Amino acid sequence: MMNYIAKLTVILVAILLISSCKKSEAVVEKNNSETRTLNKTSADSESIEGLYETQAEPDNSNECVMSIEIIKEKKGYSYFLKTKLRQLKGIANLTANESGEKILVLEGIEWDEYEGDISREEDNDSIADSESNSQQPDIPVGIGASYTKDTLTIQNYGNAMNSYTKLSECGRKYIQLIKK
């Protein structure tokens, strides 16, 4: 499993490096800095619009069946997410971060589990103290997927220091959806 994750990480880094060498696009800054909304009227050689589906893994063909359809609307994009357990529609926002990486945010999808960043918790000696003083963190809403040519990649769950699961019906750490 670790070998598979290491290979997937190397592939994702390689794709990001290759895609960062492409010509820059016009962007409009949103909220002062780190995230910029892409100009939706720019003539882009690649269209994000279309149907994206997960591919079967060789050892488990039915483990993570999922599709996302991105539809171009007058004022941006919308999505239709379909999994084994749910079908959801909503607004999709395409943004770029400081490094130019494109991020597609599927608005309105509540994460399945979220325990928050535990590295900020204070050490408590007793379980009773920690239970009475702790507040459950708000569950985030909206799922971000990095976009590189014809592929959406969602980091589906975190680690021991930042425990979360976005889509529990899929057991993959990184969900890759390939455009059809």
Give the per-residue pLDDT at 67: 96
Give the per-residue pLDDT at 56: 84
pLDDT digits over 73-108, tens only? 998 999 999 999 999 999 999 999 889 899 999 999
The CA-based diameter of the chain, rounded to the nearest angstrom, is 60
Q: Determine the Cα–Cα distance for residues 53 and 178; give it in Å rounded to an integer.
A: 5
Q: How confident is the model at residue 63 (pLDDT cuts 50, 70, 90)?
A: confident
Whether the predicted pLDDT of 166 surpasses 60? yes
Give the per-residue pLDDT at 59: 74
- 86 burial level (CB within 10 Å; 0-12, 13-18, 19+): exposed
pLDDT digits over 99-144, tens only? 989 999 999 999 999 987 776 655 544 455 555 455 778 888 999 9
pLDDT digits over 127-138, tens only? 555 554 557 788
The C-alpha angle with vertex 162 and arms to 129 and 80, in degrees rounded to 5, equals 125
Sequence-distant (≥ 6) Cβ neighbours of residue 58 within 8 angstroms: none
Whether the predicted pLDDT of 24 surpasses 70? no
